[in-house]
Amino acid sequence: MTSHPNSWRRTLALVRIRPPFSGVMKLLVAIALLAACGSKSPTATTTAPGGGEAATVVLPDVPFDKLEHDQRIAFMKQKVVPAMKTIFQNHDPKDFAKFGCQTCHGAQAKDGHFDMPNPDLPKLNFADMAKFKKDDLDWMKNEVWPTMGKLLQLPLYSEENPKGFGCLNCHTEATGQTAAGH
């Protein structure tokens, strides 16, 4: 709720014209009204284009693929970015200092396109992953992949569940590779 710049004066005026309240009660009511009208929870709002504040989108407790477009954007801002920013910055504070939509979705995110998988992310050759550091592979396997699956409420890829959330939901395969699923 956005408060009018002079709303506190109106609130105090309203409190003053109600004779049954004692002085202490007036003060308590005024404080409660000011707190309710003027306080802003940092996690309860989203930033609208142009820097203004937009209403919070209340998200249903359903898997990501069941959300509507606006709900998906709100979900990413409210849940995915904060969780994944921590994971990425803990892994490499320098490389991921500016973590945001573009980190995973690429330059297309600036234009409001969030298609995945992103062909600009490192391409994967499951037959030969030697070009990647073992620490990076372990981090992806043990932190990034399961956390994203959990956030999106999707079952993880496995041989028993080849349609589950896996590497190829974000990355593409190196040219000439057969679809391995991951």
Domain edges within the chain: 7-38, 64-169
Secondary structure of residue 99 in the 3-state scheme: coil
What per-residue confidence (pLDDT) applies to 176? 59
110: which DSSP letter?
G
What per-residue confidence (pLDDT) applies to 30? 38
Residue 69 CB neighbour total at 10 angstroms: 9
Which residue shows structure tokens 């509507």? 68
Degrees, nearest 5: CA angle 124-162-108: 45
Is 125 in contact with 180 (CB distance < 8 Å)? no
Spell out a b/e string for 25-35, using b for 16 or more CB atoms within 10 Å of the CB, else e.
eeeebbeebee
Burial of 68 per CB tally in 10 Å (0-12, 13-18, 19+)? exposed
173: which DSSP letter?
B
What per-residue confidence (pLDDT) applies to 2? 46
User: What is the rounded CA–CA span in Å between residue 75 and residue 57?
Assistant: 8
Q: What are the residues facing 53 on neighbouring strands? A: 47
What per-residue confidence (pLDDT) applies to 86? 97
Which residues of the chain fall below pLDDT 50?
1-48, 178-179
Is 149 in contact with 155 (CB distance < 8 Å)? yes
Secondary structure of residue 17 in the 3-state scheme: coil
Q: How much is the pTM?
A: 0.65
